[in-house]
Amino acid sequence: MAKPDSLQSLYLDEIKDLYDAENRIVKALPKLAEASTNPMLRDAFNEHLQVSRGHVKRLETIFADLGEKASGKTCNGIKGIIDEGSDALDYDAGSMKDAALIGGAQRVEHYEIAAYGTARTWAEHLGRTADVQLLDQTLQEEKEADRKLTAIAEGNNVNEEARETPKLTH
């Protein structure tokens, strides 16, 4: 891929990266939901799946406004995080598995929070006000998803119970 020669092309690269990331996340979330033991966690993953489909749509709106075709550029960051987190899918059902799923999902959220924050700032610099709003909405939803995962982990003592699970060998 050619080196970006302006903030505008750097920005387009970032949007492509996010587009690939969101599409990977939309594919991964049903597996996380299915693997969850705690029904609240399953609901949270399913809800975030719906929300993430909206994130894909917002990025498509941004591509259209830029006069660009919606296309992704392999997001090695999210690809790696999903790959690492997928080990947990094979764990035995229970709170330890849920704790591992939450740990992986929060890594995803934090990556997205960083990337959307960057994209929003660049959109501001480029004077792309409509994009700023779209990216900010998504950013807030990623933060909310992250908070919800923390609340589930703490509220239901997922991490607490995991510590007492004798099968903690990973």
Q: CB nearest Fe ion: which residue? A: 55
Place of tokens 């982990």: 153
Q: Which among 11, 131, 2, 124 has a CA at the least distance from the CA of 60?
A: 131
Question: Between vectors from CA 20 to CA 17 and to CA 25, what angle results, nearest 5°?
Answer: 120
Question: What is the SS3 string spanning 101-128?
Answer: HHHHHHHHHHHHHHHHHHHHHHHHHCCC
In the complex with Fe ion, which residue's Cβ is closer, 26 or 89? Answer: 26
Regarding 95 and contact with Fe ion (CB under 5 A), the answer is no
Q: Could you give the string, one character per residue 35-54, with x where binding to Fe ion holds by CB under 5 A and - elsewhere?
A: -----------------x--
CB of 130 to Fe ion, least distance (A): 18
Site for Fe ion in 53-72 (CB under 5 A): 55
In the complex with Fe ion, which residue's Cβ is closer, 36 or 52? Answer: 52
In the complex with Fe ion, which residue's Cβ is closer, 55 or 120? Answer: 55
